[in-house]
Amino acid sequence: MIRPGKMLKQVLESVFKKPATTEYPLVKARMPDNFRGKIVFHPERCIGCRLCMKDCPSGAIEIRKVGEKKFECEIDLGKCIYCAQCVDSCLKKALEATREFELAVLDRKKLKVTYNAETGEVSKG
Query: Which residues contact ligand SF4 by CB under 6 A?
Result: 39, 46-52, 56-58, 60-61, 63, 75, 80-86, 89-90, 92, 94-95
Helix (H), strand (E), coil (C) string for the chain: CCCHHHHHHHHHHHHHCCCCCCCCCCCCCCCCCCCCCCEEECHHHCCCCCHHHHHCCCCCEEEEEEECCEEEEEEECCCCCCCCHHHHHCCCCCEEECCCCCCCCCCHHHHEEEECCCCCCEEEC
CB of 24 to ligand SF4, least distance (A): 23
CB of 121 to ligand SF4, least distance (A): 16
Residue among 75 and 111 whose Cβ is closer to ligand SF4: 75
Residue among 86 and 111 whose Cβ is closer to ligand SF4: 86
CB of 16 to ligand SF4, least distance (A): 43
